[in-house]
Amino acid sequence: MLSDLAWHTILGVGWAMYLAGLALWIILQRRSPATTVAWLLSLALLPVLGYLIYYFFGPQRLKRVRLRRLRSRAAIAAQAEAAQAREHVADAPWRTQQMARLAYMTCDNPLSTAHDVRLLVDGAQTFDAIFAAIQAARHHVHLEYYIFATDRIGTALRDLLVTKAKAGVKVRLLIDALGSVTAGRRFFRPLTDAGGELAFFHDTRIGRRFRPVINFRTHRKIVVCDGNVGFVGGLNVTDDQDERVNPAAYHDVHLRIEGGAVRWLQMVFLEDWFYTADESRGKTPVDVTAQLLPEMSPGEHYVQILHSGPNDERESIHRAQVAAINMARRRAWLTTPYFVPTQPAVMALTSAALRGVDVRVLVPERADSRIVSAAARSYYDEMIAAGVKVWEFRGRMLHSKTLLVDDDCSFVGTANFDNRSFRLNYEVCALAYGPKLAQDLADAFLADLRHAQRVPEKRKAPLWRRFGDAFARLFSPVL
């Protein structure tokens, strides 16, 4: 029989080999140093549980996912090239062209135009506008959502889509399998029976594959009607975002776009649809026809659609927002429900404030994630010390995701100001250039401040709260 010393030696060697193997595995992922160290510590302290968490939730490279993404992009490459040839924006201001070039080089979507860009505040305005656009559709309706609930608004939207499908309109609905876990095929059977098409992004059922894709979700919210009217923003399909049903509904904004820029929202949807069809094997990809990308005259508003995801290391939305803040001359006003910034984002915000830019950050007083709220508070002191004005929205949960820089750049989309949105989720946002949307965003931001309280320069917090905030910050790279 082996002695206790021998057993200790075997266990010690096994433990060392386990750590060495994990270190090699994680380091080869080539993530940021902070993220790598955070995962290594988690796995070392939680040997079995930590391994399972990393296996299912960790930031894997997912080469097969990227290959399918490349095939999906290649499937619409000809249409994208033809659509790009229709863009006529040579007369755009120099600052617009400079930012637009950065965005194009990081997500391949060019600067476009729109006839109308309309900011929608909260669920009543947003859902009414979306329902009206769907009712007016004659050829197709494409929708992509993270959360599609089976409640009042979800059922009403499903029933409207059923009506349109029965009328001969082609309806395609893509929902995230994890975010919309309660909305199964049974709920959508009336839609599929009527001829509509349904797809689930990254199915989470273990039975479908040995390791389901759990950590990389489509957080996108896209609606495209007949290729010329589109919607993008923060609202999911749920009563939790409709103040007519729920007085405590999330406070959020959305954007309605009409004109040429919608074709690039269409492209984002089509790439996701092709990707999901490829993943599902057997689903027939959509035939991209001229009716999906109709000819449209140039509009008066410059708009660019940005998208990012774990399949693309260029981090288009992250890079564009940091660059816009760095270019700010007068103001940079940020609204986000989850404020867990990267180091480049922290540097951009504090540097802008230090050079005299009016930098304001509006976050919820209490987010729907305690650890995220705690991590956000850990950044307050360094922000305020640099001159950043931090405000906490009171009452309803603040869910808006916007950034206003001067009168030049207005971001409205799905991406939170955190690591998960910048690097792990599939996100999309509209970047509008010029004063029209800038003024609307500024008015909405100032209206929100009336329901917020500014965080004082010398805020008082008990030791346990400060420790909890600092501890939560340790998990920032993986939140």
What is the SS3 assignment for 257? Answer: strand
Quick one: which of 423, 432, 384 has its CA closest to 405?
432
Q: How far is CA 363 from CA 178, 337, 449, 468, in A?
A: 25, 5, 10, 19
Taking the C-alpha atoms of residue 98 and residue 260, their distance in angstroms, rounded to an integer, is: 20
The answer to whether 161 touches 188, Cβ cutoff 8 Å, is: no
CA 43 to chain centre: 28
Alpha-carbon distance of 149 to 182, in angstroms, equals: 7
Q: What is d(CA 14, CA 32) in angstroms, rounded to the nearest whole number?
A: 28
Residue 463 has a CB neighbour count (10 Å cut-off) of 7
Q: Which two tokens stand for residue 376?
A: 């956000």
Measure the CA–CA gap between 368 and 134, rounded to whole angstroms. Answer: 31
Estimate to the nearest angstrom the gap between the alpha carbon of 47 and the chain centroid: 32
Nearest to 351 by CA among 329, 336, 334, 373: 329
Q: If we measure between CA atoms, which residue out of 94, 72, 129 comes closest to residue 270?
A: 72
**Which residues are known catalytic residues?**
219, 221, 226, 399, 401, 406
Name 433's Cβ contacts closer than 8 Å, sequence gap at least 6: 92, 93, 96, 99, 100, 111, 301, 302, 303, 304, 408, 409, 410
Q: Per residue in 276-297, is it b (16+ CB within 10 Å) or e — as a string? A: bbbbeeeeeebebeeebbeebe
